[in-house]
Amino acid sequence: MAHQAHAYHMVDPSPWPLTGAVAALLVTSGTAIWFHFNSTILMTLGTMLLLLTMYQWWRDIIREGTFQGHHTPPVQKGLRYGMILFITSEVFFFLGFFWAFYHSSLAPTPDLGGCWPPAGITTLDPFEVPLLNTAVLLASGVTVTWAHHSIMEGDRKPAIQSLALTILLGFYFTFLQGLEYFEAPFTIADGVYGSTFFVATGFHGLHVIIGSTFLAVCLLRQIQYHFTSEHHFGFEAAAWYWHFVDVVWLFLYISIYWWGS
């Protein structure tokens, strides 16, 4: 049997990068076709392929790391760099939408009434549901930290409980935001206010859902004894992502909900 004289992971050939690329093509072009030709088949097919790709690719990574021992310290370090770089790219993604918001709100044009919020827009009270949402996400940051320390100290049950509590708080946030979206007296089609509001908070909400899913996967893995007190990078990555989501919300709350009201 061949052995490697280094600590790095030479990954086996895998079809998932290709299926992922095909899925990306189908989702994007499918969405354009939906908009113009009223057919959803390509977009749906692309989404299913994307979900299958994600499931199988990440399942394989778990197999390689947790069961086959390929995630040595140098490999883990590389994964850490990767997650940090990814989150950094997401920071820039949101930066763009904040740029758009401030561009429009710092110098409101005459057609809006020369004021911000624009004439005719009834904004949401920042001290009602948005404040509750802030408390919910901040609390979830505390609970995920409790979970991390529990994992590091080998406390299985508290780790499971605190992680589950974190996910529940995430669901509660999503539920509250959904309610807000439905109750809002303005829509995405209400000029630049509506566009900046729903695109920025909408992408944030999508990231909350992604983060909650990531944490849920970690919960299942913790229950199945994947994590050790020394090696649990999947959880750390999920926790970093979750803190990032929390920080983005804080900026959204201060800028759009509070200052922009």
Q: Which residues sit at the interface with other proteins, rule CB under 8 A?
A: 34-35, 38, 73, 77, 80-81, 84, 88, 111-113, 118-122, 125, 127-129, 131-132, 134-136, 138-139, 142-143, 145-146, 149-150, 152-153, 155, 158, 162, 165, 169, 181-191, 194, 229-231, 233, 236, 240
CB of residue 114 to other proteins, shortest distance in Å: 11
Q: Are the C-beta atoms of 71 and 167 separated by less than 8 Å?
A: no
Could you identify the residue written with the tokens 């994964």? 79
CB of residue 181 to other proteins, shortest distance in Å: 4
Nearer CB in complex with other proteins: 20/191: 191
Q: Are the C-beta atoms of 72 and 7 separated by less than 8 Å?
A: yes
CB of residue 169 to other proteins, shortest distance in Å: 8
Measured at the alpha carbon of residue 125, what is the angle toward residues 122 and 130, in degrees to the nearest 5? 125
Measured at the alpha carbon of residue 242, what is the angle toward residues 239 and 244, in degrees to the nearest 5? 115
Residue 242 and residue 250: Cα distance in Å, rounded? 13
Q: Which amino acid is at 249?
A: W
Nearer CB in complex with other proteins: 64/155: 155
CB of residue 128 to other proteins, shortest distance in Å: 6
CB of residue 67 to other proteins, shortest distance in Å: 20
Residue 23 and residue 56: Cα distance in Å, rounded? 14
Nearer CB in complex with other proteins: 64/180: 180
Nearer CB in complex with other proteins: 16/43: 43
Residue 40 and residue 35: Cα distance in Å, rounded? 9
Name the token pair of 164.
Answer: 């589950």
Nearer CB in complex with other proteins: 20/158: 158
